Each structure stands twice: as C-alpha cells, then as structure tokens.
Amino acid sequence: MCLFHYKMLIINLKSQIYLSLLLVNKSIKNRLRYFIELSYNGKAYHGWQNQPNAISVQEVLEKALSTLLRELIEIVGAGRTDAGVHAKQMFAHFDTDVAFSPEDLTYKLNSFLPKDIAIHAIFVVSNNAHARFDAISRSYIYKISLTKNVFDYNYSYNFKLPLDIDVMNKACKVLFEYEDFKCFSRSNTDVKTYNCDIIKAEWVNENEMLIFSITANRFLRNMVRAIVGTMIDVGLEKISIEQFHEILKSKDRKKAGASVPGHALYLTNIEYPNYIVKK
C-alpha cells in the first residue's frame, strides 16, 4: 500500500469514528430517564429482583417494556421485596431515547402485563434521579389475622394465640432508641451499614386484624419480618421489654425472633424529594 492510500485510509477511519461519536452523543442527549409507579400482588413471584431460576416482578416488567418500546430496557427498583411480598406502591426507573406518550404506554402496559401487576403512572425525571438511592422513606404494613378468615388467608398471617398489643406497642417505642438493626437483618448481606432511621412503628387492631405499620429511611433484608416475629414473642410474653433491648444491643440475628411469612407483608409507600421530577 502506497503512502497516499494509507493516509486516505486513516482519514476515512477517523471520519467513521467521528460520525459514530456524533451519533452516540446525539443518542445520549435524547435519552431520558423515566420513573414508573406500580403495584403488584407478590403471590406468584419470587420477589422483585431478577432471579436465575425463578420468575420475578422485575423480569416480567422488563420484558413488557422491551416488547412495547422495541429495545432492551433494564429497570432499577426502589428496593427488593422478598418472595410472596406485595407492593401497594413501588417505583422503578428506566432510560430510553424512544419517544412515547406516558399515558399511552401506561395503558398498553396494563393491557400487556398479567393481572397481578398494575402500572399507575410513568413520568420524566432528572437524568441523575435514582429510584433506590433518592428515596427518602419507605413504609410497610404487616397483617396478622386473629380469626380464621377464608378470604384473607393468602394475604394475612393467621395467628391463633392471644397477643398483648399494648406491650407490643411499648416495644415499638424501643425501636426509636436505636439505629443499628443488625439483629433483624438477614445474615451475609452485602451492606455497608446496618443503620436505619425508623420514623414510625405502631400496632393497631382493626376488626380482629392486627396491623403493624413501620416507616424508615431504609430497611435491611428481612428486617420487617424479623421485627414482627420478635414482637410476637413480646406479645406472647416470651421475652420482656428489657430482653427486647438486649436483642437490639446484641446485633445478633440468632437472638431475635423467627421471621414471619412474607405473604402478609406489604410495601405501601415510598417518598421522594420534589426536585427529582423534571420540570
């Protein structure tokens, strides 16, 4: 190859690279981030997060979005619910440069998705908004049925022994005195800290249904179910309030109570700062 042809080849290669970079840059500039608000009945799913050998809510939603938008869509959820756990409100984010009407896509998704997943809204957010890291609080409820109910057995934990709700609420107040909740965390989790700021925790009895409500800035894996299981032991007077203190101080999961079943747990609310919504 002569020197002239070699120089022309280099020039052509540089031109192709330049054009490719222009197209990539244009695509990035046109790419928008969207939040999607949804709810789901967790009975048929092995939790929110993708699993190698089991169906998840994330997998079903990603497939639906990818089909309708005709490009591979990956979503990031606000958190991870365990197998069988429900969500009355969940948020996730995804990026795309495909133009669409949020109202139209919401309608199509609800027609496309199975009946146990519902889409409530899709809206543009700032490009650096993050469904998980920007959430400022999350709320859960856990339902314990004190009577046999043929309509609620799939969605509440039927418990036959009497529970002292007053002492259980005293245990709730103890939670506010601590920030390290390692004793309620699943073992061998990849977290940097076990600290959580619990904002609300209380038990109420509504027509023979005990409902535990809890709100915090973040939760550890299995945390709510472990708290409920330990508070049942408090309500049964198996452990005292003083012992409840000692469990928290121990930071030892083995000292806390057993985790209650996931089918009676609901993620009910996630709060975000107003500034993440793109004006």
Digit-coded pLDDT (tens) for 254-271: 999 999 999 999 999 999
Judge if 128 and 186 occupy the same domain: no
Is 52 part of any domain?
Answer: yes
CATH number of the domain enclosing 110: 3.30.70.580
Judge if 98 and 163 occupy the same domain: no
Is 129 part of any domain?
Answer: yes
129, pLDDT greater than 70:
yes
Judge if 101 and 149 occupy the same domain: no
Q: Which pLDDT does position 29 carry in this prediction?
A: 61
Q: Which domain holds residue 72?
A: 29-133
What does the alpha-carbon distance between residue 97 and residue 35 come to, in Å, rounded to a whole number? 14
Q: How far is CA 85 from the centre of its chain?
A: 10
Is 224 part of any domain?
Answer: yes
Judge if 61 and 163 occupy the same domain: no
Instruction: Look at the chain and report how many structural domains it folds into.
Output: 2
Judge if 227 and 248 occupy the same domain: yes
As annotated, the active-site residues are: 82
Q: 14-45, pLDDT tens digit by residue?
A: 555 544 443 444 445 689 999 999 999 999 99
What does the alpha-carbon distance between residue 264 and residue 276 come to, in Å, rounded to a whole number? 32
Q: Which one, of 60, 88, 63, 83, lies nearest residue 73 by Cα?
A: 63
Judge if 109 and 164 occupy the same domain: no
Q: Which two tokens stand for residue 25?
A: 């840059």
Its pTM surpasses 0.85 = yes
